[in-house]
Amino acid sequence: MRAVKVKIADIYVPTALRAPIDAAKVEALALSIADQGQQEPILVRQDKDRYVLVGGLHRVEACKALGEVTIIANLVQARKH
């Protein structure tokens, strides 16, 4: 895996990951990110012109709440079926 900065607007969130968002968790993450920066990259895989979120929905939402345009992500390989 390698860490890269990706545009939040280029991240697609699959339906399976759109679980109810815990607003308190997003707020706590936003405060932490504002204070210390993003400590843990999200996980995405590349899919043509966009990235597909694999893990880290609350971090994405926290960065959005802070008005961030980019987020640090680890690129992972798609699973072979």
HEC secondary structure over the chain: CEEEEEEHHHEECCHHHCCCCCHHHHHHHHHHHHHHCCCCCEEEEEECCEEEEEECHHHHHHHHHCCCCEEEEEECCCCCC
Q: Spelled out in words, what is the top-level CATH class assigned to the domain 2-75?
A: alpha beta
- What is the model's pLDDT at position 80? 53
pLDDT digits (tens, 9 = 90+) for 18-39: 878 999 999 999 999 999 999 9
The model's pTM is 0.89
pLDDT digits (tens, 9 = 90+) for 46-60: 988 899 999 999 999
Position 78 pLDDT exceeds 60: yes
Position 5 pLDDT exceeds 90: yes
- What is the model's pLDDT at position 3? 86
